[in-house]
């Protein structure tokens, strides 16, 4: 047969498979989590300041162009 029938997984077997896969996950340490959170916060701050600057420049340009009309 070209196509095999898919057998249904019982709830107990599903839970066992989930536990098996979860045990393979390499969980980050507390230090890694804190370091990553700090990095994300710093990048968010830098990018928000960058986009604030870009928005201010474009707003000034549009206001100047509208004042010409």
**Residue the block writes with tokens 């990095």:** 39
Which pLDDT belongs to residue 3?
A: 56
- Where is 41: in which H helix or E strand? helix 30-68
- Give the Cα separation of 66 and 34 in Å (integer): 47
| Residue 48 or residue 3, greater confidence | 48
- Give the Cα separation of 1 and 39 in Å (integer): 54
- Give the Cα separation of 42 and 63 in Å (integer): 31
Q: What does pTM read for this prediction? A: 0.61
- Give the Cα separation of 45 and 56 in Å (integer): 16
**Residue the block writes with tokens 């010409």:** 68
Question: For all residues of the chain together, what is the average pLDDT?
Answer: 92
pLDDT tens-digit profile of 13-39?
Answer: 999 999 999 999 999 999 999 999 999
- Where are the domains positioned within the chain? 30-69
């Amino acid at each position: 047969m070209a196509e095999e029938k898919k057998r249904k997984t019982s709830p107990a077997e599903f839970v066992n498979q989930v536990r098996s896969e979860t045990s393979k996950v390499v969980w980050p340490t507390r230090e890694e989590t804190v370091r990553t959170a700090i990095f994300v916060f710093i990048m968010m701050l830098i990018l928000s300041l960058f986009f604030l600057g870009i928005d201010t420049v474009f707003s000034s340009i549009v206001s100047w162009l509208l004042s010409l009309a």
